[in-house]
């Protein structure tokens, strides 16, 4: 029975169904339990969080990734699945904390001062949350001082800086300088992304990595996980 | 059931009503003076018997008559010609129903080229960096064969946007003669596609063999009338204004049998027609009307299609320039003239000057395909796979063409704006603006696989790599690997027993195959 719930969880991640009201890719799924209902049922039955995550959520996302790479799935499918997993992780968070299970890390993301573009930032947030990271979205047009203050007080493992415009990408360099001045650069990995920036630009301003898109961000962060281990 | 085609709600027209009337009146005047030179005795007699002024013109080596066609004969013929023409198919779901007043477009292959273009992809290594390799397409022209015709019909059967099949390649095998060409080209086509098959006829003596073959497939004479799985193209009028001897005989016999037939004229602006638009239009319209008139005089009510293949001459060679902008203008004008007469139209697009697939071919083809489609011809000979005007057929190009016709068809879908849609819009907007991320992505999924969203170009490579030809070639091979529904064993056996001249190797049920 526990196996059935975990298998259903995995299947619903693949179908990208957050709740019972969502449609799946297959027909006639609306009304059947989605990821959130199944998570609750799994917890009620005492299924270990580790099993829920590894055999349900992560296993489902792995299939989604494979389907995306073979072009069977598109970005909206990936995002729906990631969103479902992200919502599941919110439910699991207190259980993980109670059992001292470490998450993959805290990721803060922000569109820098002067820039209000946030589509890319929002997609990165959904995908990283779906990949098991704790995501804190600081919003758009955020002053540099506020970003530094957040890093100082909340200790994120990663900081994502987003900018669409060539006029605002320079602010990313200013954020890094401010982090250095406050002795924070060795405490947080800084990733940059956005249409105007590049790998070269990341190196130029001293960022730890450049991410071409949300999927790349997941890969880059997972690679940092590897170095942590 | 018939194929859906694509209905053009508001057809694109270039000429004003007044200009249409001016072309019509000019054509009528041309039919009366100078009239047409007629190298076919039967046609001259038929016109003469029906009130046309016919006078003998003596030439040294040909019998010839000058036929002046009175307007009344033309007007009566246009009244008698069916306004709806049905083209049947082995699979009745592939039937084409064409009404001269309804701009529903069917996309058709063609025409008969002498050259078949093979393609392969040799690998090239960069001199300065031997680890860098690329695949470059190489094209190899050769004479077309009956096996090529089978292959092309097979692939065309599986091309989604292609509604009907005009034979693509002239079969030039050593064992193909003038006496067996027609039966073999029709059988090769019919046996490999369940869509409608249209072709020209090489030898009038073969007409009854071809018709009898079609009767065997559908089950008899009445069945063929009800489901005409074959039809014919005839260029009985050679520009300027000449009924040719042999094709006119063929046309008359097809009309006598009541089978659908395209009255096609292909003047070249600059050489066999005036270079200016008004001139070529007045002449081609006169030529087609003369053919339609003859057809109705032979057999009142015979299903005829207004066939237009006008082209501008190249200024450097005086060859055809199907890729020229004016060629599309002429074709759009012809569609408008046919609609004025309420006769279904066969028009031309997609024929290009480029000799191999590539950027020039894509630009020339897409330009005319979009414009002529928008004008609403019922039977658009949009020439899947055709290159170098009418000289080369390339199966890879046909697969590429199918991809862009999907885009054209998608674009021409009517807008879906109604109360239900607007209600759904309110729901989505109110829901999304209340979320922190403000993205509509979640609402894409219900329509993602419903066909409501157009897909990316199917032959897109990764990153900056141009893989169009390689991917289209893979698609072509996939289509060739998909089975087609051949004519059943018993009917095939009857056909091979009763129709002379068929090549044994075309019998897919024969032992050893």
Instruction: Spell out the per-residue pLDDT of chain B, length 513, in tens.
Output: 899 999 999 999 999 999 999 999 999 999 999 999 999 999 999 999 999 999 999 777 788 999 999 999 999 999 999 999 999 999 999 999 999 999 999 999 988 999 999 999 999 999 999 999 988 999 999 999 999 999 999 999 999 999 999 999 999 999 999 999 999 999 999 999 999 999 999 999 999 999 999 999 999 999 999 999 999 999 999 999 999 999 999 999 999 999 999 999 999 999 999 999 999 999 999 999 999 999 999 999 999 999 999 999 999 988 999 999 999 999 999 999 999 999 999 999 999 999 999 999 999 999 999 999 999 999 999 999 999 998 999 999 999 999 999 999 999 999 999 999 999 999 999 999 998 778 888 788 888 888 889 988 999 988 778 899 999 999 999 999 999 999 999 999 999 999 999 999 999 998 555
Level-2 CATH architecture, domain A2-98: Orthogonal Bundle (1.10)
Q: Is A120 on the interface with B (CB under 8 A)?
A: no
Percent of chain A with pLDDT over 90: 65
Count chain A–chain B contacts defined by CB atoms under 8 A.
Answer: 31
Q: Which residues of A touch B441 (CB under 8 A)?
A: 75-76, 79-80, 123
The token pair that represents B473 in the structure block: 């070639």
pLDDT score of A61 more than 80: yes
Q: Which residues of B touch A77 (CB under 8 A)?
A: 445, 448
Distance of residue A88 Cα from the nearest chain B Cα, in angstroms: 17
The H or E element that residue A163 is part of is: none
The token pair that represents B101 in the structure block: 């007043």
Q: Which residue of A has its CA nearest to B440?
A: A76
Given A80, A123, A137, which is nearest B442 (Cβ)?
A80
Distance of residue A207 Cα from the nearest chain B Cα, in angstroms: 25
Q: Which CATH class is domain B6-16+78-402?
A: alpha beta
Task: Answer yes or no: do B442 and A23 touch at CB < 8 A.
Answer: no
Q: Which residues of B touch A126 (CB under 8 A)?
A: 437
Contact by Cβ (8 Å): A113, A161: no
* Answer CATH for A106-228 from 1.20.1260.10, 3.40.50.1860, 3.40.30.10, 3.40.50.280: 3.40.50.280
**Of residues B219, B217, B97, B170, the one with CA closest to residue B485:** B217
pLDDT given at position B511: 54
CA A201-A207-A211 angle, 5° bins: 70
Rounded CA gap, B68 and B90, in Å? 42
Whole-structure pTM over 0.95, yes or no?
A: no
Distance of residue A83 Cα from the nearest chain B Cα, in angstroms: 9
Q: Is A23 on the interface with B (CB under 8 A)?
A: yes
Rounded CA gap, A22 and B200, in Å? 57
Rounded mean pLDDT, A21-25: 87
What backbone torsions phi and psi does residue B422 show, to the nearest 5 degrees? -65, -40
pLDDT given at position B512: 54
Task: Answer yes or no: do B445 and A80 touch at CB < 8 A.
Answer: yes
Distance of residue B439 Cα from the nearest chain A Cα, in angstroms: 8
SS (H, E, C) B240-284: CCEECHHHHHHHHHHHHCCCCEEEEECCEECCCECCCHHHHHHHH
Best of B437, B446, B475 to substitute, by most chain A Cβ atoms within 10 angstroms, is B437
Domain boundaries, chain A: 2-98, 106-228
Given A23, A25, A119, which is nearest B439 (Cβ)?
A119
The H or E element that residue B290 is part of is: helix B277-298
Half-sphere exposure of A138 (CA within 13 A, CB side): 26
Domain with CATH 3.20.20.480 in chain B: 6-16+78-402
Rounded CA gap, A143 and B405, in Å? 51
Given B437, B438, B445, which is nearest A76 (Cβ)?
B445
Task: Answer yes or no: do A83 and B442 touch at CB < 8 A.
Answer: yes
pLDDT given at position B111: 84
Best of B424, B427, B438, B442 to substitute, by most chain A Cβ atoms within 10 angstroms, is B442
Chain-wide mean pLDDT for chain A?
Answer: 91
pLDDT band of A117, cuts 50, 70, 90: confident
Q: Which residue of A has its CA nearest to B449?
A: A25
Best of B439, B449, B475 to substitute, by most chain A Cβ atoms within 10 angstroms, is B439
Q: Which residue of B has its CA nearest to A81?
A: B442
Give ipTM to 2 decimals.
Answer: 0.74
């Amino acid at each position: 029975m526990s196996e059935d719930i975990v298998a259903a969880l995995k299947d619903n991640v693949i179908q990208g169904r957050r709740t019972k009201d969502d449609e799946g890719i297959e027909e006639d799924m609306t009304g059947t339990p989605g990821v959130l209902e199944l998570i609750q049922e799994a917890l009620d039955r005492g299924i270990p969080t580790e099993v829920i995550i590894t055999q349900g959520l992560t296993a489902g996302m792995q299939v989604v990734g494979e389907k995306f790479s073979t072009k069977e799935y598109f970005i909206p499918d990936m995002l729906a699945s990631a969103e479902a997993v992200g919502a599941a992780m919110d439910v699991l968070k207190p259980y993980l904390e109670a059992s001292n299970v470490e998450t993959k890390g805290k990721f803060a993301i922000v569109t820098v001062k002067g820039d209000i573009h946030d589509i890319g930032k929002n997609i990165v947030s959904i995908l990283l949350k779906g990949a098991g990271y704790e995501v804190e979205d600081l919003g758009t047009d955020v002053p540099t001082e506020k970003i530094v203050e957040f890093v100082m007080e909340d200790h994120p493992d990663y900081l994502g800086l987003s900018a669409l415009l060539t006029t605002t990408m320079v602010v990313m360099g200013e954020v890094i300088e401010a982090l250095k001045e406050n002795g924070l650069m060795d405490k947080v990995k800084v990733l940059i992304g956005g249409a105007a920036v590049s790998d070269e630009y990341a190196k130029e301003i001293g960022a730890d990595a450049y991410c071409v898109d949300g999927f790349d961000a997941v890969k880059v962060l997972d690679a940092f996980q590897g170095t942590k281990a | 059931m018939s194929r859906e085609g694509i209905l053009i709600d508001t057809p694109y027209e270039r000429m004003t009503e007044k200009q249409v009337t001016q072309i019509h009146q000019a054509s009528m005047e041309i039919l009366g003076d100078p009239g047409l030179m007629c190298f076919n005795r039967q046609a001259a007699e038929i016109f003469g018997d029906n009130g046309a002024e016919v006078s003998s013109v003596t030439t040294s080596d040909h019998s010839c008559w000058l036929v002046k066609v009175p307007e009344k004969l033309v007007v009566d013929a246009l009244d008698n010609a069916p306004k709806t023409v049905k083209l049947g198919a082995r699979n009745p779901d592939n039937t084409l129903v064409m009404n001269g007043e309804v701009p529903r477009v069917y996309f058709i292959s063609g025409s008969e080229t002498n050259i078949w273009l093979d393609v392969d992809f040799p690998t090239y290594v960069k001199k300065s960096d031997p680890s860098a390799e690329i695949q470059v397409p190489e094209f190899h022209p050769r004479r077309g064969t009956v096996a090529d015709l089978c292959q092309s019909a097979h692939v065309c059967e599986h091309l989604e946007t292609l509604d009907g099949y005009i034979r693509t390649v002239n079969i030039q095998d050593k064992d193909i003669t003038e006496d067996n060409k027609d039966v073999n080209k029709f059988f090769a086509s019919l046996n490999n596609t369940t869509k409608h098959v249209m072709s020209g006829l090489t030898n009038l003596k073969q007409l009854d063999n071809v018709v009898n073959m079609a009767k065997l497939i559908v089950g008899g004479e009445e069945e063929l009338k009800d489901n005409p799985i074959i039809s014919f193209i005839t260029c009985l009028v050679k520009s300027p204004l000449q009924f040719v001897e042999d094709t006119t005989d063929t046309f008359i016999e097809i009309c006598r049998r009541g089978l659908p037939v395209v009255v096609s004229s292909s003047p070249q602006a600059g050489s066999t027609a005036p270079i200016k638009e008004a001139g070529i239009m007045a002449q081609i319209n006169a030529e087609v009307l003369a053919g339609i008139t003859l057809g109705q005089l032979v057999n009142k009510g015979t299903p005829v299609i207004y066939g237009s293949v006008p082209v501008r001459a190249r200024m450097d060679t005086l060859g055809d320039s199907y890729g020229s902008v004016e060629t599309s203008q002429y074709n759009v004008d012809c569609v408008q003239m046919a609609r004025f007469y309420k006769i279904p139209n066969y028009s031309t697009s997609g024929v290009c000057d480029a000799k191999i697939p590539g950027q020039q071919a894509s630009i020339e083809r897409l330009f005319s395909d979009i414009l002529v489609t928008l004008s609403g011809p019922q039977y658009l000979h949009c020439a899947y796979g055709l290159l170098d005007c009418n000289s080369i057929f390339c199966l890879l190009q046909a697969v590429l063409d199918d991809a862009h016709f999907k885009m054209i068809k998608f674009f021409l879908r009517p807008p879906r704006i109604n109360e239900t849609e607007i209600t759904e819009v309110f729901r989505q907007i109110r829901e999304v603006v209340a979320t922190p991320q403000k993205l509509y992505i979640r609402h894409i999924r219900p329509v993602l696989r419903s066909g409501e969203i157009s897909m990316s170009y199917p032959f897109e490579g990764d990153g900056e790599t141009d893989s169009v030809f390689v991917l289209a070639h893979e698609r072509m091979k996939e289509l060739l690997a998909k089975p087609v529904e051949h004519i059943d064993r018993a009917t095939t056996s009857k056909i091979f027993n009763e129709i002379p001249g068929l090549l044994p190797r075309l019998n897919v049920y024969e032992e050893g195959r």
